[in-house]
Amino acid sequence: MSGVPEPAGPDGPCREVDATLARVFGLFGKRWTGLVLAVLTESPTYYAQLRRAVPGISERMLSERLTELADAGLVVRDVDPGPPLRVRYEVTEAGAALRPALSALARWADEHYPGT
């Protein structure tokens, strides 16, 4: 503590970020996560199709994001024994519950964030 008072906004000191939002953005703040999830909320998708659906993502990054989404309980992995061996990904109930939020973000971007 330096004894210097915190800058105050119109309603007092700035509040700390909500812990729940910090946890959510720890996952969704990572590049590609939202796009991968947006594709998967539309329908179950095989790995190769998913890679084509998200232009620019590397195989390594896609694998990392899918693992993180599975660990978070938002995606499940299903292996078709083949031949050929194919891996399909599908959102869980928790993942599907994000559809309205993703749609709302897309509408917001159309209205307020034209991009570059």
Cβ–Cβ under 8 Å, residues 106 and 35: no
pTM exceeding 0.95 = no
| Tokens 């539309």 sit on residue | 42
Ramachandran class of 73: left when φ > 0, alpha when ψ lies in -120 to 50, beta otherwise = left
| Tokens 């519950």 sit on residue | 97
Beta-strand (E) ranges in 1-116? 8-9, 12-13, 45-46, 75-80, 86-91
For 78-90, write each residue's pLDDT tens digit.
Answer: 998 888 889 999 9
For 9-30, write each residue's pLDDT tens digit.
Answer: 676 778 888 999 999 999 999 9
